[in-house]
């Protein structure tokens, strides 16, 4: 089909992978090609201290690797942010999102804990989710050591990481876990049922489409489990019946993203549950919206930073 893409992204369309993304091998090949093309680089205007740590994993599971980013010069406690990388539950890494985490630490003025959670299909649900929750528990327990204000601890994620962030937020509420003050869900992957109009329509868009999404859920839930009646809402937060008593949320969605409608629906349901919720829908762009040299790409980035500043109660650097 022909789509009314933002004119500023059209020169980049032929550079984006275009599938068909039939299985985990094709998806990982896409991710590896992106890494070979070079990871984003960000040079902060202020010194940022970065160190890796190994934190206790879920019961019976390995420790979880986290990378901590924090302004080197600080005056008192800073807010904290658990950051969960994207990658369809099956790829991605802390290293690939190093520039994003560094930028958030520098420009929002927060301690960022980026989580190296286990990936499917080798480690299907709930392995990655429990790793993320274990990292949240460690971050809250270590708040004093990390220089984090425990009353300003938030969570953020992109794509599958956004879905994991929504799920961790539900877990924290239901388990009486560390209280979260804010959730940033960037183009989150929330619904395994794949029945929304945007999911049914966008099976041919580049970068990420509904066929990639199907492969992603099959890996995360296990073959034959996608769209089963008993899929946990902690795997697919769109299935959660009760969205009350959750922290304020910012959700982003993109016009030509198969996740568009599930993201909009989740924002609406949060609002109906009396959760303060902002929704940003970006026109003419693909999953994520971040295209070099485009005005909408710069807007997506600026909106993310502004939302995090509001949600964490900081004016940034």
What DSSP line would sit under the chain, residue for residue?
Answer: ------TTTGGGGGGS------SHHHHHHHHHHHHHT-------SS-EEEEEEEE--STTS--EEEEEEEESS-SS-EEEEEEE--STTTS--TGGGHHHHHHHIIIII-EEEEEE---TTTSTTTHHHHHHHHHHHHHHHTHHHHTEEEEEEEEEEETHHHHHHHHHHHHHHHTT-S--SEEEEES----TT--SHHHHH-SS-SSS-HHHHHHHHHHHH-TTTTT-TT--TTTSGGG-S--TTPPPEEEEEETT-TTHHHHHHHHHHHHHTT--EEEEEETT--TT---TT-HHHHHHHHHHHHHHHHHHT----
Catalytic residue among 131, 192, 216, 287: 287
214 contacts 202 by C-beta, under 8 angstroms = no
131, 218, 257, 261: which is the annotated catalytic residue? 257
| Catalytic-residue membership of 242 | no
For residue 186, what are the β-bridge partners? 158, 252
Catalytic residue selected from 114, 159, 210, 252: 159
257 flagged as catalytic: yes
User: In this structure, what are the phi and psi dihedrals at residue 311, rounded to the nearest 5 degrees?
Assistant: -65, -30
Q: Is 265 a catalytic residue?
A: no
Note whether 158 and 184 are within 8 A (CB).
no
Q: Which residues are catalytically annotated? A: 159, 257, 287
């Amino acid at each position: 089909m022909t789509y009314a893409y933002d004119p500023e992204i059209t020169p980049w369309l032929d550079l984006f992978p275009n599938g068909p993304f039939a299985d985990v091998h094709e998806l990982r090949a896409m991710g590896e090609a992106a890494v070979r093309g070079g990871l984003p680089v960000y040079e902060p205007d202020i010194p940022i201290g970065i160190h890796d740590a190994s934190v206790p994993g879920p019961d019976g599971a390995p420790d979880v690797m986290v990378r901590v980013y924090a302004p080197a010069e600080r005056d008192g406690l800073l807010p904290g942010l658990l950051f969960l990388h994207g990658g369809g539950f099956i790829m991605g890494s802390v290293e690939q999102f190093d520039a994003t985490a560094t930028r958030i630490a520098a420009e929002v003025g927060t301690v960022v804990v980026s989580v190296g959670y286990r990936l499917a299909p080798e480690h299907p649900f709930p392995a990655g989710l429990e790793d993320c929750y274990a990292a949240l528990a460690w971050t809250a327990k270590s708040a004093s050591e990390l220089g984090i204000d425990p009353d300003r601890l938030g969570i953020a994620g992109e794509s599958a990481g956004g879905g994991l962030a929504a799920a961790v937020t539900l877990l924290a509420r239901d388990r009486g876990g560390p209280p979260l003050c804010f959730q940033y869900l960037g183009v989150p992957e929330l619904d395994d049922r794949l029945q929304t109009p945007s999911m049914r329509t966008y099976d041919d868009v580049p970068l990420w489409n509904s066929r990639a999404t199907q492969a992603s859920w099959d890996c995360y839930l296990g073959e034959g489990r996608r769209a089963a009646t008993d899929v946990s809402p902690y795997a697919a937060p769109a299935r959660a019946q009760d969205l009350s008593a959750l922290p304020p949320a910012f959700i982003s969605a993109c016009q030509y993203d198969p996740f568009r409608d599930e993201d909009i629906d989740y924002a609406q349901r949060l609002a109906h549950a009396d959760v303060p919720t902002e929704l940003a829908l970006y026109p003419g762009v693909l999953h994520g919206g971040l295209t070099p040299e485009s005005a909408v790409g710069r807007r997506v980035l600026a909106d993310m930073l502004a939302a995090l500043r509001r949600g964490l109660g900081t004016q940034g650097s």
